[in-house]
Homo-oligomer: A and B are copies of this chain.
Amino acid sequence: MLSLEDLRGQFENYLQSKSFDKNPQGLYEPLNYILSLNAKRMRPALLLASYNLFRDDLDVAMPLAFATELFHNFTLMHDDIMDEASLRRGETTVHKKYDVNTAILSGDVMMIYAYQYMAMSPPDKLAKVLDVFHDTAIKVCEGQQWDVEYETANDVSVSDYVKMITYKTAVLVGATMKIGGIIAGASDEDADHLYKFGENLGIAFQVQDDILDTFGETAKVGKVIGGDILQSKKTYLYLKAIELIEDRDRADFVKLYHSDIQQEFDKVKKVKKVFDEMYVLHYAQQLKENYEQLAQSHFDAVSVSDERKSTINEIVGTLIKRES
């Protein structure tokens, strides 16, 4: 059994060896750039760890782990255009460093390479792997579309939000786990448990993101607390507060949340006060724990010895306890 650090290390070596030293350079440089940014490589690590539950010869899984990282970074390149984001992992985003057209086309070719590496699956598993991958990739686009639409919508519910984060980010974690299992020869039942494990873990992770952005400690999170509030983002915390607040107070709270720093100097403090009055943090932690427990129950159901499960349990522990 390899540790998380071993898996990440082996993946980094593989990734280094697959640098896109090709022409036209203008097309491929942005791929090398975005892949060089400091990243946790969580998706490839999870795919390898899932494979490693059943088998030790990681070589078979490595191209597919790379495929998940390529796909994830393609979505970042395009999402950053849509969100007009300037920073990604603390560095300039691709469309700001180069230009929008470059970020579109380099993102496109990156997605095609994701498919090319995904298709390096063992031939007898190829159709199954691709079925999972298409389905997931389509959902990721649908999730991004909802995310964009929700920015200007006035009637987003908590369940809309959970569906959106499920599609936008959690399904890819599920797919990563499932594909790792499929190519290692897992039974259909185990592969499905791995999918559900990853998906629920992904949702819990995303809720934790919302919690940390508002209730984390600056020193640990590494960025200013309250960014979501300042940007009036429709997070779980906000949507839950809207659901719980008295009808007579709702309009004022919506107005406060959508005000900017010029209008409301103390915006973060005031919003957090409302969150506190509604016990929103408590609900968020409850929701996160529910998804974690769901994830854990699916993982427990995978028919593999506890000893082989130790690395993934370690990863889950890290993700659950994280404060940044």
Instruction: Considering the complex, give the chain B residue whose CB is closest to the CB of A137.
Output: B112
* B127 A113 Cβ-Cβ under 8 A: no
| A119 at the B interface (CB under 8 A) | yes
A58-85: which have CB < 8 Å to B?
78, 81-82
Which residues of A119-142 have CB atoms within 8 Å of chain B's CB atoms? Answer: 119, 123, 126-127, 130-131, 134, 137-138, 141-142
In contact, B78 and A148 (Cβ under 8 angstroms): no
In this assembly, does A21 line the interface, its C-beta being within 8 Å of a C-beta of chain B? no
Binds B, one of A4-12, A36-44, A103-111: A103-111
Q: Does A24 touch B at the CB level, under 8 Å?
A: yes
Instruction: Contacts A104-B81, A116-B134 given; indicate if A109 touches B24 (C-beta within 8 A).
Output: no
Q: How far is the CA of A281 from the CA of B23 in the complex (A)?
A: 32
- Chain B positions within 8 Å of A131 at CB level: 119
B contact residues around A81 at 8 Å (CB) = 100-101, 104
Q: Which residues of chain B are within 8 angstroms of A254 by Cβ–Cβ distance?
A: none
Whether B127 and A105, one on each chain, are in contact in the complex, defined by CB atoms closer than 8 angstroms, is no
Determine whether A86 belongs to the interface, using a CB cutoff of 8 Å to chain B: no
| Cβ A146 vs Cβ B113 within 8 A | no
Q: Which residues from B are CB-within-8-Å of A145?
A: 24, 26-27, 105
Residues of B within 8 A of A141 (CB): 27, 105, 108-109, 112
Chain B residues within an 8 Å CB radius of A24: 142, 145-146, 149
Q: Which residues of B contact A142 (CB under 8 A)?
A: 23-24, 27, 109
List, in ascending order, chain B residues with CB within 8 A of A107's CB: 108
A115 within 8 Å of B by Cβ? yes
A109 near B138 with CB under 8 A, answer yes
The CA-CA distance from A46 to B145 in the complex, in Å, is 34
- Report the nearest B residue to A24, measured CB to CB: B145
CB-CB under 8 A from A130, the residues of chain B are 115, 119, 126
> Which chain B residues border A3 with CB–CB below 8 Å?
none
Q: Chain A interface secondary structure, helix, strand, loop or mixed?
A: helix
Cα–Cα distance between A130 and B144 once the two chains are bound (Å):
27
What 1/0 mask marks residues of chain A from 229 to 244 whose CB sits below 8 Å from any chain B CB? 0000000000000000
Q: Which residues from chain B contact A116 at a C-beta distance below 8 Å?
A: 134, 138
Complex CA–CA separation, A126 to B100 (angstroms): 34
**Which of A24, A26, A123, A148 has the most chain B CB atoms inside 10 A of its CB?**
A24
Chain B residue nearest in CB terms to A117: B134
Q: Tell me how far the C-beta of A22 lies from the nearest C-beta in chain B, rounded to whole angstroms.
A: 8
Q: Which residues of chain B are within 8 angstroms of A112 by Cβ–Cβ distance?
A: 111, 134, 137-138, 141
- A117 CB to nearest chain B CB (Å): 9
Bound-state Cα–Cα, A241 to B148, Å: 49
A127 CA to B108 CA, complexed, in Å: 21
How many angstroms between the C-alpha atoms of A222 and B320 in the bound complex? 64
**Between-chain CB contacts (< 8 Å), 10 pairs:** A26-B149, A81-B100, A105-B144, A108-B108, A113-B134, A113-B138, A115-B137, A119-B130, A123-B127, A126-B126
